[in-house]
Amino acid sequence: MTAPSDLLIRNVRPLGAQAVDILLRGGRISALGARLPATAGCAVEEGEGALLLPGLVESHTHLDKTLWGMDWYRNEVGPLLTDKIDNERAFRAASGHDAGAQSKALAMAFLALGTTRIRTHVDVDTQAGLRHLEGVLRTREALRGLMDIQIVAFPQSGLLGRPGTDALLDQALAAGADVLGGLDPCAIDHDPVRSLDVLFSIAQRHGKPVDIHLHEPGAMGAFSLGLILDRTEALGLQGQVVISHGFCLGDVGLAERDALLARMARLGVALVTSAPPARMV
Ligand SMILES: [Zn+2]
């Protein structure tokens, strides 16, 4: 009997190259070439000259919080990042937001458009506890084999401001989160040295990598970034640290920016998503 994954796709262009046929057996590419013969029982799809790409990678999303597929929501909220954070936390508590159902709905939408690997930041705070994590863990299990979902335990409401958050992050990593998240150690936690020391000590305890949201602008963000790089170096975490956004890199002078980027490259610190045009990196 033919394995269900045997599939011949005709007339596709791998990464834009010349059109070929491609034969998949047992979930792997077994042949690439012109006019491949269809094996017995093999499904055949006509590619019509379309591009053939590897599965796409979404390196930064928040599956747990999405309102995807729900009613229109009018977001009337103050201008500060903390206004937005407080507002969304309260909205989800009041609406009984189902992080499991919502994360699955958005993950399926990603999958339908070709994304097969996702890193998702999942809110962990003293109001929701591990509720969001539990929902996304269910989604990860439900889609196992179709999609790899990497979960970041993310203190969206800050690490120091709400006592007990550090213990929850600890539990989240023990419960199956893959990565420890962080957030603006100056602007949100108001004590960057302590905030980052607490964060890195939790990561060290679990031997897990770190991914830090850094929205802080200019000199403030560059100062935080320097502290993050100091800890990356001192703790031997080369290749284990990611900066999400890093808007400060678009604000500081060119010499300072280049020095920070060179140090990041040396320490294997990746930068993902630099977002809005007003804060270009
Ligand atoms: Zn984010």
Give 138-155 pLDDT, tens digit per residue: 999 999 999 999 999 999
Q: Is the pLDDT of residue 126 over 60?
A: yes
Model pLDDT, residue 132: 97
CA 279 to ligand 1 centroid distance, Å: 15
For residue 13, report the distance from its CA to the centre of ligand 1, in Å: 34
Q: In the block, which residue shows the tokens 């190259």? A: 17
Q: For residue 47, how far is its CA from the centre of ligand 1 (angstroms)?
A: 35
Cβ neighbour number for residue 229 with a 10 Å cutoff? 19
Compute, in angstroms, the gap from residue 206 CA to the centroid of ligand 1: 22
Q: What is the pLDDT of residue 277?
A: 55
Tens-place pLDDT, residues 157-196 = 999 999 999 999 999 999 999 999 999 999 999 999 999 9
* pLDDT at position 43 over 50: yes
Q: Radius of gyration (Cα) for the chain, nearest Å?
A: 22
Distance CA 225, CA 212 (A): 10
DSSP 38: P
The pLDDT tens digits for 212-235 are: 999 999 999 999 999 999 999 999
Q: Which of 42-46, 207-211, 262-266 has the lowest mean pLDDT?
A: 42-46
pLDDT confidence band for 1 (50 / 70 / 90):
very low
Is 132 in contact with 155 (CB distance < 8 Å)?
Answer: no
pLDDT of 91 reads 87
pLDDT of 4 reads 55
Average pLDDT, the chain: 93
Please report, rounded to a whole number, the percentage of residues in the chain having pLDDT higher than 70. 96
For ligand 1, the distance from its centroid to the CA atom of residue 80, given in whole angstroms, is 16
Q: Is the pLDDT of residue 275 over 70?
A: no
CA of 171 to the centre of ligand 1 (A): 21
Report pLDDT for 57: 96
How far apart CA 162 and CA 101 sit, in angstroms, is 27
Given pLDDT bands bounded at 50, 70 and 90, which one contains residue 109?
very high
Following DSSP, what letter does each residue of 172-225 receive, concatenated?
A: HHHTT--EEEEE-TTTTTS-HHHHHHHHHHHHHHHT--EEEEE---HHHHHHHH
Tell me the three state secondary structure of residue 46: strand
End-to-end CA, the chain: 54
HSE of 144, CA atoms in CB hemisphere, 13 A = 6
- Position 147 scores a pLDDT of 97
CA 32–ligand 1 middle distance (angstroms): 39
The DSSP letter of residue 257 is H
Tokens of 265: 């490259």
Which domains are assigned to the chain? 7-52 (2.30.40.10), 56-279 (3.20.20.140)
